[in-house]
Structure 1
Amino acid sequence: MNILSDPRKTAPATDESAQLASILAAAGVQKKSRHRRSWAVATLVILAVAGAGSYYYLGRSGAGYDYTTQTIKHGDLTVLVTATGTVQPTEQVDISSELSGTVRDVNVDYNSIVKTGDVLAVLDTDKLEADVKSSRAKVNSAKANVAKATAELASAESSLTRLRSLVKSNVSTLQSLEDSQYKYDSALAAKEINEAEVLAAEADQRLAEVNLDKARIISPIEGVILTRAVNPGATVAASLSAPVLFTIAGDLKKMELQVDVDEADVGGIAVGQKATFTVDAYPERTFPAEIEQIRFAPETTNNVVTYKAVLSVDNADLLLRPGMTATSDIVVKSIADTILVPNAALRYTPQAAESRGSRNIFSLFRPPRMGPRNTTAPAPTGPNRTIWILKSGTPSPVNVQIGSSDGRFTQVLSGELEGGDEVITDATARAR
């Protein structure tokens, strides 16, 4: 049996459901609207705070450097050329023997003071003395032969004169006269030969005496014995490359400093310039010197070209010794009472800061640039430069013309500078 529902009873239930759905939908819309407004307000607050922070951050970045300065001053400038070398005697002689033989006596030792003509050593002279005696005997024999030849010549001359008279008187024959003339000529020639033999014998005698003198090795100069390479009993062999027996230095109270000057600096030095130098033995003391010679001959070592400069040195107190290594400062130029700026100021260039107006809040969130950036400008050269003066906390450029430099300070020839100006030498960014 089918039961049919009454349409009049089901209609009200449907209407109530529709009303409930519409009420819930309206409430959901209102809730979503309130959530959207809350997110919008929060976003505006965040942006406001970030904007204020960025304004403060970017506003301070324009003055974010601390400057290192030095005061421009008036003073004296000394331009130096530094060179190294060694202290040497002004005169040094290596002594060898011209004769071969055995050393009999040695009269000096290291550091011995000698004078010109002092006997340093003596070779064995027995054979040399015998040679002198033999040569003297030969001279005497030759002279006797000359005397004999002279007598024979006188006899021949007398016979020739007598025969000439007899021939004129027809007492003697012409043949006898010719024989007498021949004897005279022979006697004259014999005399000349004997006289030449005397000269030769005398020369041999002088040579023997010289060799005897050379057996005594003497000092050719006044000075000090630096080295001695021979002892009594040693055998000396004379040759083209004879061994050095003694080395003598001249007066050590006057010495010289030989330094190697770089080819880039040799144009600035000249004879007569003053210098000072130091040696390792006396590091706290400086010694005066003066250039007395600049040699033209180049010296090349490992492709580096230098020129030898010789400086005279007074060593009256005998502190300096031959061979000491020295470092010299040659005074190339001295400038009195000039404006000086530190060389660091010539190398300083302000860092390029970004314009404040070109930066905004979004720049804070940009990712950092990757890779190196070369922000170093090449060092300027030439006499015209720009330096930066700090005035009221702000760098101000000043164009100047520079002159000589000693490596730390440079002379200013022209430019709007005054004593007491603070010149910038460096700048460092402040910590934020």
Structure 2
Amino acid sequence: MSSDDNSTKANQSSGDSGDLAAILASGGARKKGSRWLWRAAAIVVLVGAGYGYYVYSSEATAYTYATSPATKGDLTVLVTATGSVEPTVQVDVSSEQSGTVREVLVDYNSTVRKGEVIARLDTARFEADVKSAEAALLASNAAVAKAEADMNSARVSMERQKTLVGNRVSTQQDLDSARYNYEAAVATKASAEANVQAAEASLEQSKVTLAKATIMSPIDGIVLSRDVDPGATVAASLQAPTLFKIAGDLRKMELQVDIDEADVGQVAVGQQATFTVDAFPDKRFPAEITQIRYASETINDVVTYMGILTVRNDDLLLRQGMTATADIVVQAIRDSLLVPNAALRYTPPESLGARRQSSSMFSLFRPPRMGSITAPEPAGGERTVWVMRNNVPTAVNIEIGASDGQNTVVTKGDISEGDKLIIDATAKSG
């Protein structure tokens, strides 16, 4: 081998050594760079995890919850209706006769008895009619007496003619004439007796007319109104004006209320109630449903049915026409688990649910959730309430019963007395 060949080999060997060194140097640089990349990635991951936890923690404490406990107690379901207090018996008194009022014997609030005279009309004309009828009756009786005498005379004459005809002293024609006169006398007497009956009826009518000039109370009670004074002229007709209003015993009254058609199905005869009137706002009066009328009434486009409640008024505090508001007890439930209605209306804030369900790279690093975030789907007649358990809102499905507008009976569900039910949530500021 020549020196040139050796020199070429040496140069090749030197070049190979340089390439290897370069490769080794490049590999070391890549290894060092990869180490820095891993360190940077780890830092990013840690920062993201910390930020995600911070966001999660911020979301979890972003609301302040107002709660109300589940309680054991009684619940009364009421139907409210308005109406007025009225007497159980009220009579409008008018005059059956036309005339001039001579005297009025009662005033407002007068206590009267059945048959007691409360007013009189001028009776001069009516008394004259009675006397005239009495005279007519006397004349009729006299006519009967004369007719009877004439009849007796005709009978005697007829009997005489019969004898004379038998003795052939008188003719048959004379007998027939006597018989005719007798029969006419009998008819005249019958007519006179009928006239007596007519005269008696006329006299009776005159006496009735005279009696009707005296106005009497038809019932025991109290005079509520008096709309007539002495000297006033009264005209009797089908639309005769009311002179007096008389109420029966005011110690027993009735409350007439308008029950809404939406509530009438819950109201029944025998149910108890209490009511108030504006005159005594702090006093509640007891009452009892005695009648629910089938006929409807429409008031301001609202269909109602009249309910009648009996009321004792022994102390006479209640007066006719007083406006009243009644609370009728349609259901009374004892010793039941109750939840506030506000808890049934509560739903968690939508913004909280949206943030919790959002997807981001930081959600991978959030701690596990505690409690239900969205309520399980209620079945049938179930309702969902939210209970604070371990300081976390938890959805619970329950079945409910009657409600009084403030609280509702729980018939089934994972709720116990004292559980704190969420009724409101307020976002924290800052």
The 1:381/1:312 distance shift into structure 2, 3 A limit, reads farther
Cα drift, residue 166 of structure 1: 3.5
Correspondence 1:358 to 2:356: no
Distance 2:156 2:414 in 1: 115
Alignment of 1:25-424 (within 5 A): 56-352=54-350, 353=353, 354-355=355-356, 358-359=359-360, 383-424=381-422
Structure 2 counterpart of 1:35: none
The letter for the 1-side match of 2:324 is A
Q: Which amino acid aligns with 2:405?
A: G
Look up the SS of the partner of 1:256 in the other structure. Answer: strand
> 2:391, 2:140 → 1: CA distance?
110
Are the structure 2 counterparts of residues 382 and 295 from structure 1 closer, same or farther at C-alpha, using a change threshold of 3 Å?
farther
The number of residues matched between the two structures is 371
Match of 1:355, SS state, is helix
| TM-score, scaled relative to structure 2 | 0.81
Matches of 2:207 and 2:278 in 1, distance apart?
Answer: 50
Cα distance, 1:125 vs structure 2: 0.9
Structure-2 change in CA distance of 1:421 and 1:138 (3 Å): same
Counterpart residue identity of residue 324, structure 1: M
Over 3 Å counting, the alpha-carbon distance change for 1:331 and 1:196 in structure 2 is same
Matched-pair identity in %: 56
TM-score by length of 1: 0.81
Equivalents in 2 of 1:159, 1:424: separation in Å?
Answer: 122
- Aligned with 2:314: secondary structure? coil
Distance 1:184 1:398, change over 3 A: same
Q: Matched residues in 2 for 1:119 and 1:171: separation?
A: 74
Q: Find the aligned partners of 2:120 and 2:156 in 1 and give their Cα distance.
A: 56
Name the CA shift for 1:408/1:382 in 2 (closer, same or farther; >3 Å): farther
Following superposition, the deviation at residue 405 of structure 1 comes to: 0.8
Contact 1:263–1:307 (8 Å) recurs in 2? yes
Counterparts of 2:47 and 2:396 in 1: how far apart (Å)? 43
| Contact 1:62 1:356 (C-alpha < 8 Å) held by counterparts | no
Please state how far the C-alpha of 1:199 moved relative to its aligned partner.
Answer: 0.9
Change (3 A) 1:187 1:229: same
1:38-77 deviations in Å (ceiling 9; x for gaps): xxxxxxx9xx999966753453213322222111111111
Distance 1:73-1:61 versus aligned 2 partners, 3 A rule: same
Kindly state the Cα deviation for residue 381 of structure 1 after the two structures are TM-superposed.
11
User: 1:258, 1:311 within 8 Å by CA — same for their partners in 2?
Assistant: yes
Once the two structures are TM-superposed, the CA of residue 169 in structure 1 deviates from its matched residue by 4.1
Q: Deviations over 1:340-393 (max 9, x none)?
A: 1111111112224212772579xxxxxxxxxxxxxxx9xx99732122221101
For the residues of structure 1 that align with 2:155 and 2:329, how far apart are their CA atoms?
A: 86
CA distance in 1, matches of 2:168, 2:73: 119
Gaps of 5+ in 2: 1-42, 363-374
Q: Distance in 1 between matches of 2:381 and 2:238?
A: 59
Q: Could you tell me how far apart the structure 1 residues matched to 2:380 and 2:173 are? A: 109
Against the structure 1 CA distance between its residues 68 and 140, is the aligned structure 2 distance closer, same or farther, given a 3 Å change threshold? same
2:115 partner letter:
G
Deviation at 1:253, TM superposition (A): 0.7
Structural RMSD (CA): 2.4
Q: Secondary structure of 1:336's match?
A: strand
| Paired position in structure 1 for 2:372 | none
Cα 1:390–1:49 change in 2 (3 A) is closer
How far, CA to CA, are the matches of 2:199 and 2:232 in structure 1? 33
Asked if the contact 1:97/1:242 (under 8 Å) is kept, the reply is: yes
Q: Does the CA contact (< 8 Å) of 1:274 and 1:330 recur in 2?
A: yes
Q: Once the 2 structures are TM-superposed, how far is the Cα of residue 237 of structure 1 from its aligned partner?
A: 1.6
Amino acid across the alignment from 1:239: S
Aligned to 2:30: none
Q: CA deviation at 1:178?
A: 1.1
Structure 1: unaligned runs, 5 residues or longer: 1-44, 362-376
Question: Which moves more between the two structures, 54-63 or 147-156?
Answer: 54-63
**Cα distance in structure 2, aligned partners of 1:54 and 1:381:** 36
| CA shift digits 1:287-322 (9 cap, x unpaired) | 000111111111112211101111110000000000
Instruction: Name the SS of the counterpart of 1:287 in structure 2.
Output: strand
CA offsets, 1:228-280, max 9 Å, x none? 11111111122221111111111111111000000010111111111000000
Contact 1:58 1:356 in 2 (8 A): no
